[in-house]
Amino acid sequence: MKLPPKLSGSEPVSTGESPVVPENPQEVPDRLPRAAVPALDAILGLPFRVLDDGFVRVVDYMGDDTAVVRAARISYGVGTKRVQEDRGLVRYLMRHLHTTPFEMCEIKFHVRVPMDTWRQWIRHRSANVNEYSTRYSVAIDAAQRTAPDEWRMQSTGNRQGSAGFLPTDVGAQLSAEEREIQEKARAAYEARLAAGVAREQARKDLPLSTYTEAYWKIDLHNLLHFLNLRMDDHAQDEIRAYSKVIGEEIVAKWVPVVWEAFRDYRRHALPLSRIEFEIISAITSGSPDRACRIVAERGLLNPSAEGTLTPNRERREIEAKLKAFGLTPPW
């Protein structure tokens, strides 16, 4: 085969073939515009205050409600009839746990958050993260402080939760001690830096209440999973505050149709296990004894030495769902 002569960098390369032109010009796809959501564009870059010195703001985003619909419909190929409206399709996808279309949307946040709250946040490993480094830079000179009426008591029924508040006079003393601890820790940190101690070591005694900052980029599917867990009543109050702002002030504006479906089928839905379905069926069909047998067979009605039922978390959750339906547990 004869090779073509060597060309200089400024000369066009020709293959000797004519460019491919579609027989039907209408087959050339139209140019798709970038998704733009005016309601989200209006708050782009604006910080939403959270806690005493934290914030959340949107840096950038990709996609919208329509992007979810397009991603779902393209998987069906040519010839698919658009049977449902866009809203109906989004609700179908959410209702039947089709996750991939929601992954086509992404959003990037800039957050300022206390380190103890950030520890919970960063456990969600489905995002791209870049955090402020206290090895390279001086730690942010801010720490979250607790008001005298905001000191929560340990829950007796939930080892990782809280319930109720301490008296304000006790809280006032705790708040004063908190301020003293934070100020002493900061002064020690700055003294170490002034003495020439490396930043990576000088930081080791800073309290977990110290604020950090990060860029946090995540797709819509995983963001909704994060919000479903962290907006829950059992989540810690501090991360619930951030989640509420992200959900109600940002996501609701970004993808309102998806947000509506999320609230209907995830956030405020009541899922039932097989045993819960059987119990409710037994009660509503007038067979409370059968409902009791179902619960007993699962080992959820064990008596204590005092003759009362031993504590059982699964049974408590079943009872809460029965009450939500207006039903009285028959045991």
Q: Write out the catalytic residue numbers.
A: 230
How far is Cα 182 from Cα 50, in angstroms, rounded to an integer?
20
Give 254's contacts (C-beta < 8 A, 6+ positions apart): 37, 39, 40, 58, 61, 64, 105, 107
Query: Could you give the residue ranges of the DSSP H alpha helices within 24-99?
Result: 38-41, 65-74, 86-95
Tell me how far CA of residue 170 lies from CA of 184, 263, 315, in angstroms.
22, 39, 36
How far is Cα 195 from Cα 137, in angstroms, rounded to an integer?
16
DSSP letter (8 states) at residue 267: I
Of 212, 199, 205, 155, which Cα lies nearest the Cα of 181? 205
For the chain, how many residues are written? Answer: 331
What is the per-residue burial (b if ≥16 Cβ within 10 Å, else e) of 32-42?
eeebebeebee
Q: What is the DSSP string of 163-179?
A: EEE--HHHHHHHHHHHH
